[in-house]
């Protein structure tokens, strides 16, 4: 079945360092990917997305890399700050038709802790 | 600021009680979703709706039911709560595009 999973459940970094959070997915039909940030007591918050026709997309301090050959997705956070501490989820969606149309499939989250 | 609202934020209730978790959005989105999430774990889709009078079950089997009588409102009901229903319930909505907006969730504890 479809699944999206993360390699590392926890990541601790020092303030100012760069962070890399990884994600593997198994559905080769996935063509849209999203990274969410979830702080304690809140719902997931959109960070950045990427379509399968792209390899890389940059936002403000964040970059998402997509390697379709090995079905791997990563989120890079530059100059990590204490406010970045949260759980990060990757999610995939197939924009093709069928019963999975439009539904997000989430992986297990990675807990990012940024030490001052 | 989120334009999707969930109430209550926290709920502790006894076994066997009927409960309704509220979700409302002011963005006019057609598509709405309910996800169930255990602490630190992935979100599992339990219900979704693509418009008024449209509801479907998600990937994770759930004893809850939903209704969509109005575009902005997508409540979730448990007829008889059990301790196994203890979890966080997240509501989300989106327009025709890709972006999902999530509510802050309802943390349910059944004792």
| Whole-number pLDDT of residue A1 | 39
Residues of chain A in Cβ contact (below 8 Å) with chain B: 4, 9, 32, 34, 36, 41-46, 49, 87, 89, 91, 93, 95, 102-109, 111
What CA–CA distance (Å, rounded) separates B45 from B32? Answer: 11
Under a CB-based contact definition with an 8 Å cutoff, are residues A96 and A31 in contact?
A: yes
Ranking A5-9, A21-25, A41-45 by mean pLDDT, the lowest is A5-9
Check if B45 contacts A (Cβ < 8 Å): yes
A5: pLDDT strictly greater than 60: no
| Whole-number pLDDT of residue A93 | 85
B59: pLDDT strictly greater than 90: no
Across the range A11-21, mean pLDDT stands at 96
What CA–CA distance (Å, rounded) separates A69 from A21? Answer: 18
Cβ contact (<8 Å) for B90 and A46?
Answer: no
Most confident of B34-38, B67-71, B99-103: B67-71
Across the range B10-19, mean pLDDT stands at 97
Find the angle CA(B103)-CA(B1)-CA(A92) to the nearest 5 degrees: 50
Q: Give A5 or B34, the one with higher predicted confidence.
A: B34
Q: Strand, coil or helix: what is B61? A: coil
CB contacts of A109 in chain B (<8 Å) are: 40-42
Q: How far is CA B68 from CA B26, B30, B31, B32, in A?
A: 14, 10, 10, 9
Q: How far is CA A34 from CA A2, A8, A74, A98, in A?
A: 16, 18, 10, 20
What CA–CA distance (Å, rounded) separates B78 from B47? Answer: 13
Backbone angles phi, psi at B32, to 5 degrees: -135, 150
Per residue in B35-54, pLDDT (tens digit) is 999 876 888 999 999 999 99
């Amino acid at each position: 079945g479809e699944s999206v999973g993360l390699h590392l459940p926890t990541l601790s970094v020092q303030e100012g360092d760069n962070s890399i959070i990884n994600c593997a997915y198994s559905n080769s039909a996935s063509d849209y990917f999203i990274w969410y940030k979830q702080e304690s007591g809140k719902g997931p918050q959109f960070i950045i997305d990427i379509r399968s026709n792209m390899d890389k997309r940059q936002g403000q301090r964040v970059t998402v890399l997509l390697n379709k050959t090995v079905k791997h997705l990563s989120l890079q956070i530059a100059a990590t700050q204490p406010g970045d501490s949260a759980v990060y989820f990757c999610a995939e969606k197939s924009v093709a038709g069928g019963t999975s149309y439009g539904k997000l499939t989430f992986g297990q989250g990675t807990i990012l802790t940024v030490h001052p | 600021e989120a334009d999707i609202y969930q109430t209550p934020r926290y709920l502790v209730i006894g076994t066997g009680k009927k409960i309704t978790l509220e979700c409302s959005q002011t963005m006019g989105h057609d598509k709405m979703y309910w996800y169930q999430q255990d602490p630190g774990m992935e979100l599992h889709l339990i219900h979704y709706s693509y418009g008024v009078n449209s509801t479907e079950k998600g990937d994770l089997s759930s004893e809850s039911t939903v209704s969509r009588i109005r575009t902005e409102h997508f409540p979730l009901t448990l007829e008889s709560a059990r301790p196994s229903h203890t979890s966080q319930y997240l509501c989300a909505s989106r327009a025709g595009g890709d972006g999902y907006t999530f509510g802050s969730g309802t943390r349910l504890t059944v004792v």
